[in-house]
Structure 1
Amino acid sequence: MVQSGKRLSPAEAKQKIYRYCAYQERAHKEVRNKLYEYGLYKDEVEDILSALITEGFLNEERFAKSFAGGKFRMQHWGKVKIVNELEEKGLTKNCIRIGLKEIDDDDYLNTLKDILEKKATRLADEQNAFVKRDKLARYAIQKGFEPDLVWEQVKQVVKD
């Protein structure tokens, strides 16, 4: 429900949700949940969603591109983490695939190398190469990079 406990009318909710969608790209699931928080009923929610899509306020492909590109560039997330988050937001496999196209393969590999090298400098005190590799790999995998790609790069960063 709405914070004050008052149910918004469909007209009030529509006005509010238009501002919500204009502020930044949103997934359909986020908007649907927000409309339910406003106290709207299923048919009202679906009507407003249809209007948002028709008028171009909601577009899941555009959202996927914005989300994937932003999370990669700003927070250095790997594709695995991005895919998991997009699936959590209810996007289709096709939208997710389109979103991932925003990530250039060379940039992706260079970002992985950069985060591994930065983390390696913070682990400079670690003398055991196996432990250091393990810590680096865990860090990059936790950020959402593919394990096989991570291990390939870790072996180049930490030599025997």
Structure 2
Amino acid sequence: MSTWGKNNPDQYLKKNWTLKEAKGKLETFCAYQERCAWEVRRKLFDKGIQGLHAENLVEEMFKDGFLNEERFARSFARGKFRLKKWGRNRITRELKLREISPGQIQEGLSEIDPDEYFDTLLTQTEKKWEKTKEKDLYKKRNLVIQYLVGKGFEQDLIQEALESIQPQ
């Protein structure tokens, strides 16, 4: 482990932003990847800007087109499904955590193709089934179900996927 932090205590002091530099930094922050208002508020809080000043900056980001909750929800759902192989339940939970409205969550979930979704679930089921070393089939089945529920897939689809790879 490095001792750099012990020798340089200033490393841990976070530099707060001034209101002037905050707008430019936020534009860069939002241009890098899609963000939601919750993430921007959190970033502002970390940098020492709160209350009315933070809300004004967030409002400016919306006006200038750097923030768009629907665009964020669509991008988030697409990315988490394709890259992390998350199911709809997990994506919904994460979007709710970020204070995205239910209507926008539905818009985001509409980005996921149902056929691609089930194919992904089947692939994930097969991979987990092969990796699980449990001898008892009942326990093995439950371990696979637990894993897939944790990934956010729906219980009925999980049962369907398991039956298609392992007929009873």
Q: What TM-score do you get using the length of structure 2 for normalisation?
A: 0.87
1:118 aligns with 2:127: yes
Aligned to 1:134: 142
Distance 1:105 1:41 in 2: 41
Q: 1:156 to 1:41 in 2, by over 3 A?
A: closer
Distance 2:62 2:70 in 1: 12
The unaligned stretches of length 5 or more in structure 2 are 1-11
What residue identity is the alignment partner of 1:132? K
Question: Root-mean-square deviation (CA), in Å?
Answer: 1.5
Superposed, 1:2-151 pairs within 5 Å as 4-123=13-132, 125-151=133-159
Identity %: 40
The unaligned stretches of length 5 or more in structure 1 are none
Distance 2:17 2:135 in 1: 62
Deviation, 1:45, is 1.1
Deviation, 1:5, is 4.7
Aligned residues: 157
Distance 1:127 1:37 in 2: 49
* Stretch deviating more after TM superposition (55-64 or 149-158): 149-158
Deviation, 1:4, is 3.6
Distance 1:99 1:92 in 2: 11
Distance 1:38 1:52 in 2: 17
Contact 1:8 1:39 in 2 (8 A): yes
Q: What TM-score do you get using the length of structure 1 for normalisation?
A: 0.91
* Stretch deviating more after TM superposition (7-16 or 138-147): 7-16
* Stretch deviating more after TM superposition (141-150 or 37-46): 37-46
Q: 1:7 to 1:128 in 2, by over 3 A?
A: closer
Aligned to 1:155: 163
